[in-house]
Structure 1
Amino acid sequence: MEKSRRPLADTGQTARSPLEIPRAGWKQVLLRLYYTSEENHTSLVASGIAFYSLLGLFPAIAALISIWGLVSDPAQVEQQFALLNEFIPADAANMITAQARSVSASAGAGMSLTAIFGLLLTLYSASKGVKTFMEGLNIIYGEKEDRSIIKRTLLNLGLTLGMILMVIVTLFCVAVLPILFSFLPFAGFFAYALYYVRWLLLLGMITLAIAVLYRFAPNRKAARWEWLSIGTIVATVLWIAASIGFSIYVSNFGSYNETYGSIGAVIVVLMWFWLSAYIVLLGAGLNCELERQTSRDSTVGPAKPLGRRGAYAADSVAGDESQPS
């Protein structure tokens, strides 16, 4: 006798959040994620993001140090770049630190003009990377870009400025707070605590940056935070693990300097950017497939029926499939 079909609810069609999707539904989600990552050419999109991120790296360093120099010693920013040694290969960290040292050494009377020039250059270059991220996330979420050029430009600049602000806030907490706490009682305790708190702060900023990209960058009605959280957490954890793993690989097994000579460090940074972009896009793909697993409205605002939610992932139910549609 033929077995009756498993009820749709068993795979998560009635789930109100990703946590309500059962194991069978998760298997479908992960299988579709594998297929759609190939179909969407995620690796190729990540390559474009990595290229534009590399173009914006050095102007970003110049702008950060220049802006910081308006209120404090620019050398403090250079010192905080030592944190990179914990995450990325030594060659890449040394290249970035050397650039930071060069910029901080030249900081002087013309600091305001340098800050303005560096900031404009950063916005131009870094916004290219954010724009590519927006295009990549549209591909991942199955959306077409039809926002007006004004809205798109303002969103692009807003996201770019937001990312820069996150970096500045992080640097402030890491570089300035220890100085302020040194004047308080129990300064030694605060210094010891901040040594560990700064890593939590860095982790929090990375998580927030990824979540903001997922929420606002795609051309769709925004998903509720609970439908963004799983992909955000997975992307953050994978990024940290992959960065540390890549650093270990390059330090012990890689031969970039022998192969590429003097530009070996540049290639390492480019590869790290590609790896980072790929992981962020993969997290977005996971969120997309989780939304497609349920028939409930996963977007912000009052619940709407299928086809009227303003997002392909929310309007498309794939929970009863074993292959991507």
Structure 2
Amino acid sequence: MTDEARSDGTRADGGVLGALRFTWRIYERFEGHDGSAMAGYVAFSAFLSLFPFMIFFFTLAGILLGPEDSRAALDALFDLAPEHIARTLVPVMDEVLGQRRGGLLTISALGGVWVASNAVEAIRVAFDRAYESPNPRGFFRRRLIALAFVLLAALTFTVLGVLIILAPLGFRLAREYLGFEVPIGVAYLRYAFGLVTFAGFLYALNRVLPSRSPKSRNVWPGIVVTTALWVAGASGFSIYLAYAPSYTMTYGAFAGVIVTLLFFYLTSAMLIFGAEVNAALMARRGDVGSQTEEVV
């Protein structure tokens, strides 16, 4: 293979032109694998799974932390979401949780695990297309992995919620008992916690979900791209909704649901695009098969 061409058909020229050409190649892969349609599929599955997952998360956090702290952890997680998304979801979540007590909540949580695993399966299908995995796993194996991811997500968000709750308490104790004034910028550490957790979860998704997984060193470019796009997209989305609230006139009472679905769609598209970045880089290096490995 010469320096002028790669196995994926792109030229090897560098500089801005080469970067633009390679970015276009990633977009072609994204569209060629029906990335837009798959993002809609993932977003719809995630939206249907959101409240069952939150019931499971609330139940698990209640077991580990107690009812009051589990509610505080849930509120802390919603604080990380864009304002308009949180305003839509929090009242509904309060209503759903308020109607369930004791054994009924536990039964709902168990059902929520299965429903939430459908969203994980949707991501797996999208990743298999992006990474061009030849042979998907069997049904029971796929479901076990999806259920394990639901549990992992609930545990991860519980820990994240606790860290967000404990950080202000730690800052206050440091000020009162040690005389140490915490810098103002440290208050933004909760967003850093959120980003690190998000990146770690993306790593697990890219390594485990595809039927033929990329090696560890090959997933980080896509994770960086997805995280950067998500931060920029979430910020831009919040600014747009704050200064151009015309969606309320277009969708009326359904505006909150539509905005939430749109946010999920954009997040799903960024997730799939990151996988396409990894796959395109692997193809550019040569033999894709040498860059992947079978995962149980």
Query: Same fold by TM-score, threshold 0.5 exceeded?
Result: yes
Please name the residue that 1:212 is paired with: 204
Paired amino acid for 1:80: A
2:56·2:113 contact (CA, 8 Å) conserved in 1?
A: no
Taking the TM superposition and a 5 Å limit, the aligned residue runs for 1:20-169 are 23=15, 26-70=19-63, 71-72=65-66, 73=68, 74-84=70-80, 87-90=81-84, 92-102=85-95, 110-111=101-102, 113-169=103-159
- Structure 1 residues not aligned, in runs of 5+: 1-6, 14-20, 301-308, 312-325
Does the residue aligned with 2:285 lie in a helix, a strand or coil? Answer: coil
Give the partner amino acid of 1:214: N
Q: CA 1:261 to 1:89, structure 2 compared with 1: closer, same or farther past 3 Å?
A: same
Residue identity over aligned pairs, in percent, reads 22
Letter in 2 for 1:206: F
Contact 1:145/1:219, CA 8 A, preserved across alignment: yes
Evaluate the alpha carbon distance shift between residue 67 and residue 289 of structure 1 in structure 2; reply closer, same or farther with a 3 A threshold: same
Match of 1:236 in 2: 227
Higher relative helix content: 2
User: Which structure's CA Rg is the greater one?
Assistant: 1
Residue type at the aligned position of 2:115:
S
Paired letter, 1:150: F
Residues 132 and 31 of structure 1, relative CA distance in 2, 3 Å threshold: same
Displacement of 1:40 after TM fit?
1.2
Worse overlay, 32-41 or 193-202: 193-202
Indicate the larger mover: 114-123 or 206-215: 114-123
2: CA distance, partners of 1:299 / 1:214: 17
Q: Verify the 8 A CA contact 1:42 1:278 in the aligned structure 2.
A: yes
1:154 maps to a residue whose letter is L
Question: Equivalent residue of 2:270, what SS?
Answer: helix
Does 2:259 match 1:268?
yes
Give the Cα separation in 1 of the matches to 2:162 and 2:279: 35
Asked whether the 8 Å contact 2:203–2:220 carries over to 1, the reply is: yes
1:280 is displaced (CA, Å) by 0.4
8 Å CA contact retained: 1:80, 1:175: yes
CA distance in 1, matches of 2:41, 2:288: 33
Counterpart of 2:10?
Answer: none
Distance change (3 Å), C-alpha of 1:183 and 1:142: same
- Look up the match of 1:197: 189
Which deviations, in whole Å up to 9, do the C-alpha atoms of 1:230-288 show, x marking residues without a partner? Answer: 11001001011101111111221142221221111011100000000000000000100
- TM-score of the superposition, structure 1-length normalised? 0.76
8 A contact 2:117–2:143 mirrored in 1: no
Tell me how far apart the structure 2 counterparts of residues 204 and 298 of structure 1 sit (CA, whole Å): 29
* Aligned positions of 1:175-186 closer than 5 A: 175-176=165-166, 178-179=168-169, 185-186=177-178
The whole-number CA distance in structure 1 between the counterparts of 2:165 and 2:192 is 15
What SS class does the counterpart of residue 147 from structure 1 fall into? Answer: coil
- CA apart distance, 1:77: 3.0
Q: TM-score, normalised by structure 2?
A: 0.83
* AA matched with 2:219: L
> Does the aligned pair in 2 maintain the 1:53–1:273 contact within 8 Å?
yes
For residues 6-62 of structure 1, give each alpha carbon's deviation from its aligned partner in whole angstroms, at most 9, with x where no partner exists. Answer: x7347678xxxxxxx954764553232121222111111010111111111122222
Deviations 1:297-325 (A, max 9, x none): 7757xxxxxxxx668xxxxxxxxxxxxxx
CA contact (8 A) 1:89 1:250 kept: no
RMSD: 3.0
Structure 1 residues 190 and 296: alpha-carbon distance in aligned structure 2, compared to 1, 3 A threshold: farther
Moved more, 25-34 or 158-167: 25-34
Inter-CA distance 176–66: structure 2 relative to 1 (3 Å threshold): farther
Comparing 141-150 with 173-182, greater Cα deviation is found at 173-182
Q: How far is 1:296 from its partner?
A: 5.8
Structure-2 change in CA distance of 1:297 and 1:45 (3 Å): closer
Q: Is it true that 1:286 corresponds to 2:280 in the alignment?
A: no
Deviations 1:84-108 (A, max 9, x none): 4xx5242x2112222343456567x
User: Which residue of 4, 8, 17 maps to 2:2?
Assistant: 8
